[in-house]
Structure 1
Amino acid sequence: MDVASTTSATGAAAAQASRSASTVLSSDFETFIKMLTVQMENQDPLNPMESTEFATQLATFSGVEQQVKSNDLLAALSAQMSLMGVSQLSGWIGMEGRAVAPVVFEGAPVRLTIAGDSLADRHELVVRDSLGTEVQRLAVSGDREEIAWLGTDASGTVLAPGTYDVTVESFSGAEVVASTPVEVHGRIIEARIDAGQTILVMENGQEVGAASLLGLRLPRPDQ
């Protein structure tokens, strides 16, 4: 079911609920008036009820009626806002996102944006596995650039599928002066709201929070 049909169905359901609530309120009000009329007809003529008592009862019922209507309106607005959020998320599907996150490697090259400290003497791309073991280290320019990381170790052997921590270490002499995490690129295939947070799923299965997204663009023709 697409977003448009979902929106229509939910809107119809909200309208139906509102109509049902209005019907119930109308029925309850008629019942209340009948009860009030019977109460007036059967009151003690020697000790009649004060007119203010009737006014108070009417005001109380009217207040409850208005509160119920307000609650129905708020529920309908909440449903519409939720649908708007889903509709906006659908526009992200198929886009290429860029975010700072651990690199999920599934055997295919992963596009990364890397950069080092501009004041450092040299820079190295360092890759560590999920246990923190260094599996690759290679020299890079330090300039901000987009590369295709092949996912190989120092001997050129393709690494096992998994999650890797990839950073650019910048050196001044022998001292590391900065460690900059890489930015991961990936085509977005799913966007969902989980516990109030927007989660984006990329084509390799990697999940990133929308809050950590740094860029969004149309995929290039060669991808």
Structure 2
Amino acid sequence: MEITSPTQTGTAARATSATPPSGGSVLSSDFETFLKMLTTQMQNQDPLNPVDSADFAVQLATFSTVEQQVGTNDLLTSLGDRMGALSVGQLSGWVGMDARAKMPVQFDGNPVSMSAHIDDIATAAQLVVTNAQGIVVQRQDLALGSTDIQWVGEDVAGIPLPDGIYKIAVESFSGDNLIASHQVEIHSRIIEARSENGAPVLYMENGQQVPASLVLGLRQPDT
């Protein structure tokens, strides 16, 4: 029969207790198991080389600290989920309204109304239209001071562009130097508000998805 010495038993017990639990759920729910392991370690320690009582205190304090951190993380996650749900609830009143934001244009052959920002010190400005493949399909000179634009959707040859999504920006120039580029702002109807990754996102009638934080204005739908 194999005999295990007290030293071997104590060493094995210490090695077992030093193995960290896997996962936050184990840490938060297995405190009783940890105490049983600690008791077993005390019962099987080498009488000639007992574990210092301070070591036990450190183990208890360490486990307690980690358990509190796990609880805090769970609480913060819960609060984040509640805040996200609260934000979506507050945005429910936005559904059905026209939101103003910087977003790509969903072109369906009809003219699109948009707002442009031209730099104050610009001596010239252009409207630059880029398709979904990143190709510039139109450049149009703009009069300085222009803010409201009616874009009809034509290429450089005046041929109507195919239906699709286009990114439209206004480039401001000082002489031949480009000094600023701003995406145009358009209005689109809000059809749904969702919470995605803890942040409220608006789904627009034109098919775009816009974070609620990027909305610059709201208005009643045109009748």
Q: TM-score, normalised by structure 1?
A: 0.58
Q: For 1:72-111, what aligned pairs fall within 5 Å after superposition?
A: 84-111=86-113
Please identify, of 146-155 and 78-87, the stretch whose mean Cα deviation from structure 2 is larger.
78-87
Preserved CA contact (<8 Å) 1:114 1:143: no
Equivalent pair of 1:197/1:209 in contact (CA under 8 Å) = yes
**Aligned CA distance change for structure 1 residues 96 and 144 (closer, same or farther; 3 Å):** farther
Work out the CA distance in 2 between the residues paired with 1:202 and 1:194: 15
* Paired position in structure 2 for 1:118: 120
* Among 155, 172, 175, the residue aligned to 2:177: 175
1:143 deviates by: 2.2
Unaligned stretches of 5+ in structure 1? 1-74
Instruction: Decide whether the 8 Å contact of 2:84 with 2:200 is kept in 1.
Output: no
Summarize the Cα distance change of 1:83–1:101 in structure 2 as closer, same or farther, 3 Å threshold: closer
Q: Sort the Cα spacing of 1:85 and 1:155 in 2 relative to 1 into closer, same or farther, 3 A.
A: same
Aligned counterpart, 2:41: none
More divergent stretch after superposition (83-92 vs 196-205)? 83-92
Is the partner of 2:90 in helix, strand or coil?
A: helix
Instruction: Provide closer, same or farther for how the CA distance between residues 81 and 128 of structure 1 changes in structure 2, counting only shifts above 3 A.
Output: closer
Structure-2 residue corresponding to 1:130: 132
Q: Does the aligned pair in 2 maintain the 1:106–1:204 contact within 8 Å?
A: no
**Which stretches in structure 2 are left out of the alignment for 5+ residues?**
1-77
Pairwise CA RMSD: 2.6
Name 1:145's counterpart in structure 2.
147
Question: Displacement, 1:196?
Answer: 1.2
**Cα distance change on mapping 1:169 and 1:86 into 2, 3 Å:** closer
Contact 1:110–1:185 (8 Å) recurs in 2: no
Task: Indicate the residue corresponding to 1:196 in structure 2.
Answer: 198
Flag the 1:88–1:165 CA change in 2: closer, same or farther, 3 A: same
Q: Per the alignment, do residues 85 and 165 of structure 1 end up closer, same or farther by CA in structure 2, a change over 3 Å counting? A: closer
> What SS does the corresponding residue of 2:216 show, helix, strand or coil?
strand
How many residues get paired? Answer: 147
Given residue 145 of structure 2, which amino acid in structure 1 is its aligned partner? D
Kindly indicate whether the alpha-carbon contact (under 8 Å) linking 2:85 and 2:195 is maintained by their aligned counterparts in 1: no
Structure 1 residue 209, shift from structure 2 partner: 0.9
